[in-house]
Amino acid sequence: MTHPVAASAHAGERSPEPGRRPLRLAAFGMGGSVAETLEHVMRGLAEIDVASEATLIDLQSFHLRAPGRMTPPAGTGLVRVTPRDVGYATPLSSMTLNLALSGGRFAHRRMIRHARRCLADIAPDVLLCCHDRFYIETAFVAAAKQLGIPTVLLQEGPFCVIGHGTANSASLRVKNSLAPAARALGLMPNMPDYGLAGHDLVLAASEQYRQAWTARGVPAERIRVAGIPRYDVLPAARRNREPAHPGATAQAPVVMVLIQPFGAHGKVDPQAAQAGLAEVGAALDALAGERPVDIRVRQHPRSEPADAASLTAHLSGNFILEDATTPFPERAQHLDLVVGFYSSAILEALAVGVPCAGMWLPEHSFAEPGEAAKQARLAAMSVPFAHDRDALYTTISALLDDPARTPGAAAAESETGPLDGCAGARAATGIVACAGDAHDSDRYPASSSQAAWVMALKDSQYVSCRPLHRVRPHLGLAAFEAAQPSLLAALQ
């Protein structure tokens, strides 16, 4: 189903001059935070005074663990693509086996042809994605390359795995051993590692990820550090929490437990997942027996109440089971302590200034080493991890008793990137530069000033959005040239 493309509400009340068109942006995704990230990018484009139109290409029905539909940001167009549209059968829990049953490479070529038609109808100046490894995603990237549309990978979240080691799960080891042979025989298409699909631009969350992609062969000139656009709200959330500490009431500190469906989704051995949840529940129950505490159990957006059952069964007192409707940064302002495993929400809690503690899961219980590495990354950020209920009880008690326990603002920046509220604008700047001549040539004549602007954006490793508020190239060439010296100075 295709809905008409509409100008973004965030593109501002100002319309482009007669005879000029907005930048056309298309973004595809299979759920997660893609729609939210697109909304922040549209805001970023408005911040740098770039009029724009956006279309969300919803591929979530291809997601085997969380099929459904994405809700596009207000004012954007919507195109939904389903497995039925491309003749892709989904009877099994493996995307690779499903593709093989659907025709292997022939099925992938059908995906590419359908993606070409979608992109030809939208005619975007640039194609944005946050993930690029699943077969339908690689089809859209391939179609964009065939049509000459530049592609931008925007890292929309932390804990990304660039390359996979030897799997711990026996079923994954068998599948991974067969995949190279199937590709070599021409039966299956290639599945590149994250970010290695030949994008024109990769917008990394942090310097750590920039270095990781460079080490994997992505040309340095194609990588920029932007931060994570949906984390632009975290600095304000931290400011709102710091003066008053709303959760620190005389009655009881608010302790929130973060539930992850890692057992149900096959990321962790289900028995190990249940055992870890039970240890957390027992530690919290012991804590509640010693002091007043307000226990909240927050579900993951893709979890069910049953995913928390092993934990809540050990809570003999009162607790509140919360869904994920309220954005976590908003919720974190009113918390005194967060307890979890390796959820990315722990990073958000650290950024907002909430102390955190974790329950360590055995490395061998993870299906893949890359998943196990996430808890190690949190531990490297000085998040205290416990290995049993007694140690967790001691850790939680110490954190609640320590008046100077607030994490520093930069505690999680190796994963979150710069937390200055400007990630959306930095990402927008990179997208505009990547669109380059394909977008700019029909809006105003080519000039040395315009070329210098694009080159400066491409050559800047870390572009601050602040000076860009003074630059309004869409108002006309004269106004752009007047502001250009200060822009170049800011980018050098």
What distance in Å separates the CA atoms of residue 453 and residue 480, rounded to the nearest whole number?
10
Q: What is the pLDDT of residue 181?
A: 65
pLDDT at 8: 40
SS3 483: helix
CA atoms within 13 A on the CB side of 246: 12
Of 487, 459, 458, 492, nearest to 473 (Cα)?
A: 487
Give the residue carrying structure tokens 């400066």.
Answer: 456
Residues 205 and 415 sit within 8 Å (Cβ to Cβ): yes
Coil, strand or helix at 337: strand
On whether the CB atoms of residues 408 and 204 are closer than 8 A, the answer is no
Closest CA to 375 of 358, 392, 393: 358
Question: Tens-of-pLDDT digits for all 492 residues of the chain?
Answer: 444 444 443 433 345 555 567 899 999 999 888 999 999 999 999 988 888 999 999 999 999 877 889 999 999 999 999 999 999 999 988 888 899 899 999 999 999 999 999 999 999 999 999 999 999 999 999 999 999 999 999 999 999 988 765 555 556 556 666 666 666 666 778 888 999 999 999 999 999 999 999 999 999 999 999 999 999 999 999 999 853 344 444 579 999 999 998 888 888 999 999 999 999 999 999 999 999 999 999 999 888 888 999 999 999 999 999 999 999 999 999 999 999 999 999 999 999 999 999 999 999 999 888 888 999 999 999 999 999 999 999 999 999 998 678 888 888 999 999 999 999 999 999 999 888 744 443 332 233 333 444 444 444 333 333 333 333 333 333 333 443 444 344 333
Mind listing the domains of the chain with CATH numbers?
9-228 (3.40.50), 234-410 (3.40.50.2000)
pLDDT of residue 246: 43
Instruction: Locate all alpha helices (DSSP H) within 48-153, ordered by sequence.
Output: 95-102, 105-122, 135-147
Residue from 338, 355, 368, 347 nearest 255 by CA: 338
Q: What is the DSSP string of 2-71?
A: B----B-GGG-SPPPPTT--PEEEEEEESSTTHHHHHHHHHHHHHHTT--EEEEEEE-GGG-SSS---PP
Asked if 406 and 23 count as a contact pair (C-beta separation under 8 A), the reply is no
Helix (H, G, I), strand (E, B) or coil at 167: coil
Note the pLDDT of residue 277: 96
